[in-house]
Structure 1
Amino acid sequence: MGLHDGTVLAKLTPVSPRQLTIGNWILVDGQTYQIRDLRWRQGDGRIIHIAGCAPYPAAAAGTIQRFDLVTGPSDGPGRPTGSPAGAGETW
């Protein structure tokens, strides 16, 4: 998925709620959202405020799927321009 500035949401990486920052793109219930605000909650968990959704509670022991970002134009999902396809991949 490409963003308006040419950045591409690349692979998903499982991270703890402590590793999240405002502006990260995450996957929640099969939908992609950008984090607008983060609040600490009891037990080192987080309350994640995301655009277009109710605040999302994340337990400290859980993981969240965060997108890695690739800057610039893309040859395909998660691929910067001119990058070679991996084994078994076609673009």
Structure 2
Amino acid sequence: MQEISAYTLIKEKLQAIPNLRHKGILFEKISKQFLQEHDSANEYESIDLWYDWKLRGNERDKGIDIVITTFKQRIHRCAMQIPSK
């Protein structure tokens, strides 16, 4: 049996989704999961998708996909846009 890499499997699954919006949402969720499981994940207080971020308020989509809050003495946030190509 041939082994398949996680990257190849994810890429194939994403390419099979015809709807670009659904593809983007799934890619954002996969990216968040990767960041949470990565070796540096203990440096983050939280990793939130834009629409799940509690400080977003009523703000609409601004092109931000993920907001990372770190454990620094002062709050540091990093807003990320993840290209899905």
TM-score with structure 2 length normalisation?
Answer: 0.31
- Select the structure that is richer in helix: 2
User: Bigger relative contact order, structure 1 or 2, given CA contacts below 8 A and separation 6+?
Assistant: 1
Length-normalised TM-score, structure 1? 0.30
| Greater share of strand | 1
